[in-house]
Amino acid sequence: MYFLALLIVVAFTFYIFYKIRQVRTRRPMEKKWLSAKASIALGLFVALFGINQLFLFPGTLTYFIGTLFILLGLGSCWAGYKMYKHVLPFAQREAKELDNQ
């Protein structure tokens, strides 16, 4: 149970970290790349929170809401991963071009 709570805190910490880095950068493709990473971290946070609720409060309503959180979190992770894979080459090219100047 404590391990799951630790993973929830770590996922939320990564979300905050990537959002702060996203706001601070000036490169547009890097912003999208960091947004995708933040989306993955937020999805993990929501999914792990749903799993945690299933263990803490067994009940029909909790199973429904926990399953909903898990599905929403996994969907956010999947969408963030797809965006990450799409934007990564553009962000690498952008970084290389700006470093060569």
The pLDDT, as a whole number, for residue 51 is 94
Q: Is the pLDDT of residue 1 over 80?
A: no
pLDDT digits (tens, 9 = 90+) for 51-89: 999 999 889 999 999 999 999 999 999 999 999 999 999
CA dist., res. 21 & res. 31, Å (int): 8
The pLDDT, as a whole number, for residue 79 is 96
Check: CB of residue 45 under 8 Å from CB of residue 11.
yes
Check: CB of residue 87 under 8 Å from CB of residue 32.
yes
